[in-house]
Chain A
Amino acid sequence: MFGRIWYFVMVPMVYLAFVWCVLGIAFKTMQVLRAPRLPRTLRIFPESKSPDDRPIGGWAAAVWDTFAMPTLWRFNPTLWFFLVVFHIGIVILIISHLDLLPQVNIVSASSPHMIGNGTVGAAVTVALLYLLFRRFRGTVREVSVLSDYLLLFLLLCTVVSGDIISWGNSWSDEGFVMTKQDLGKYLESLITFSFTDPRKFLSGSHYPVIGFHVLCANLFLMVLPFSKLVHTCFALPMNKLRRG
């Protein structure tokens, strides 16, 4: 029974979650694009000599605002720091998951570790804990809604289970229970649509932890388009509106 549930979570549900996420983002994008466009500028003006003098207007400025968050750096450097750690960490984690594939070799193919030897996951965990705990205090608490906490909790579950896979499975006497190569085989079976039971590659008692990690990641993908996480797609266009 449990075997079947874990198989569903780790194989068919992964595909469902991806398709759901892509369709959801497409739906949201269509919803935005089909809405009428305001025929006027929404820009605010940075300190320049005249409104026609736009030294840092347009897309370049919007990209800078989106990825560097300069105003946050200026007015709330602590939040800026943890947000940057979180976002950069997530990007590195996505790359390091791709690195699990035998075809990608950012870290030596023979190494049992992922990129960063587990430190990236730990950094993201700390950032998430900060983001979660600040929601229990002061004005941020007053403006938060239940989904804000649940989303952070879901992310925390995903990352902490990832930490356990990355670190915990090396705690046995014989060294790694599951190596980068084992996980790579599972990932490869997914991208080749072989529908092989992951148990074939992933042995030992850590299997449910991986299952839980994949379940959380699936849920994350599924809620992304229908929650505020969709800012992943819209942060840049919104900043472009501000920059004109």
Chain B
Amino acid sequence: MEQNEKSSLLKLMSDQLSRSVRMYLDNCARCGACVEACHAYASTGEARYTAVGRAQNIRRLYENYHTITGKAAPWLSEAVELDELWMDKVYETAFTCTGCRRCMVFCPFGIDTQQIQTIAKSLLIGADLEPKPLTVRAKDSIAKGVNSEATRAKFAKQMDQLRQEVVERWTAEAGKDVIPLDVQGANVLYVSMAEAHSILPAARIMNAAGESWSLSYYEAVNFGAFVGNRSMTEQICQRIIHEAETLKVKEMAICECGTAFRVMKHVMGPFDFNVITLVQLLERYIKQGRIKLDKSKVRGRITYHDPCQIARNGGVYEAPRTCLRAVTDDFVELQPNRCLNWCCGGGGGLVIAAEPEFRMKTSKIKAEQLKASGADIVATACEMCYAQLNELVDEYELDMKVEFVSNLVAQALVD
């Protein structure tokens, strides 16, 4: 590694040393209490897939460049030099960890591996080694915000096609603006994914509830957060925040995408408007009696996979359960669940950045957990989980279907 490249990478590392990160790097006792927490370790038994194992890849660099003991006696802490070989370890820290933060529950100090992971990600970006599919997608999202006039026209056209689909499927909606855009003063700005599956069920339910809503021109997913680029993360969010402020909406409902929700609410927020995830909106409609559901419409035993970014890291536990209990009388919990639920293994952008073989191998424990539930349907409220769970169901030949909570609620709607 050239000296100037090394210097600029080390500068990037220094820039990431926030108050919390310094504490996390200085204080780990290497007690191993976090070892069993990680789904990847629980599935493979490999120490490199433990929270502490991953963090050590960064801590050993930190020791070398930022601590007195590391400089004076590097052998004590096994401090290492930054070089090309070590960048492989850095990659391992960044992109074998989903940032689910289950380990944080187990650690007696609450060390946040995801924060340590941000150093790894920024080093990879600096060395141009980050997974390119994530960066390309993040750049596309930003470009969409920059060329908003052109993309808005294109988007509006796409929505025309979707509107037809809605009216064909649900005749009661004929004559209404089933997918409203640019509604000034709407109660809800709904930020979806680009695909129909993220728009149609939500539109159907919001219309049934008589909601005043507007669909965002921008997709919710934040590839900037996955790649670990703070500036990109903010730019992607800013497009949507600007739209919400321009329309003067009361609330922003993020589609079933865990990272998009967490980043908008807990990283970028708070704002003058409220930020919720779609399942919270659905829960409100059910509790207020604004939508009626027929439990006979959805058949089979349902269980729920808590997406890490919505549940453990976002605090939304009960809303999806309320929705599912309104859809069925045959609901079972996964064991463990809520704060301790096993990560699906696809978060943190790994669904795109990591090889399927790796994701399947490291999520064996998740497959076993799903199987043990005896459910016919596993519902979730996150796009990444949905994709990963579908692959898991195929790989481990589980006799179950993966569904979004919103889709189940839409299916159970009484016209």
Q: CB within 8 Å of B: which residues of A? A: 28, 31-33, 35-38, 40-42, 44-51, 65-66, 69, 71-72, 75-76, 79, 83, 134, 139-140, 142-148, 150, 226-228, 230-231, 234-235, 237-239, 241-243
Query: Does B303 belong to the interface (CB within 8 Å)?
Result: no
Assess A51 versus B315: contact at CB under 8 Å? Given A44-B339, A139-B50: yes
Give Cα distance in the complex from A214 to B312, angstroms.
47
Majority DSSP secondary structure for residues of B touching A: helix
Selecting from B105-113, B203-211, B354-362, the interface stretch reads B105-113
Q: A41–B266 contact, CB under 8 A?
A: yes
Give Cα distance in the complex from A239 to B115, angstroms.
14
Assess A46 versus B32: contact at CB under 8 Å? Given A36-B18, A231-B27, A238-B24: no
Query: Does B126 belong to the interface (CB within 8 Å)?
Result: no
Looking at the assembled complex, report how far the CB atom of A69 sits from the nearest CB atom of chain B, in whole angstroms. Answer: 5
Interface residues in B324-341 (C-beta closer than 8 Å to A): 338-339
Give Cα distance in the complex from A146 to B32, angstroms.
15
CB neighbours (8 Å) of B35 from chain A are: 139-140, 143
CB-defined A-B contacts under 8 Å, sample of 18: A32-B22, A32-B23, A36-B19, A40-B266, A44-B104, A71-B107, A79-B31, A79-B32, A134-B32, A139-B32, A139-B50, A145-B76, A145-B77, A147-B69, A231-B29, A234-B26, A238-B23, A238-B109
Known: A50-B315, A142-B53, A238-B24. 14 other contacts (CB 8 A): A35-B22, A38-B18, A44-B104, A44-B110, A44-B312, A44-B313, A46-B339, A51-B314, A79-B31, A79-B32, A139-B47, A146-B76, A228-B26, A241-B112
Give Cα distance in the complex from A47 to B52, angstroms.
25
Assess A238 versus B27: contact at CB under 8 Å? Given A49-B317, A139-B35, A140-B32: yes
Q: CB within 8 Å of A: which residues of B? A: 17-24, 26-33, 35-37, 41, 47, 50, 52-53, 56, 67-69, 75-78, 101, 104-112, 115, 266-267, 311-318, 338-339
Looking at the assembled complex, report how far the CB atom of B318 sits from the nearest CB atom of chain A, in whole angstroms. Answer: 5
Looking at the assembled complex, report how far the CB atom of A202 sits from the nearest CB atom of chain B, in whole angstroms. Answer: 33
Instruction: Name the CB-closest residue of A to B17.
Output: A35
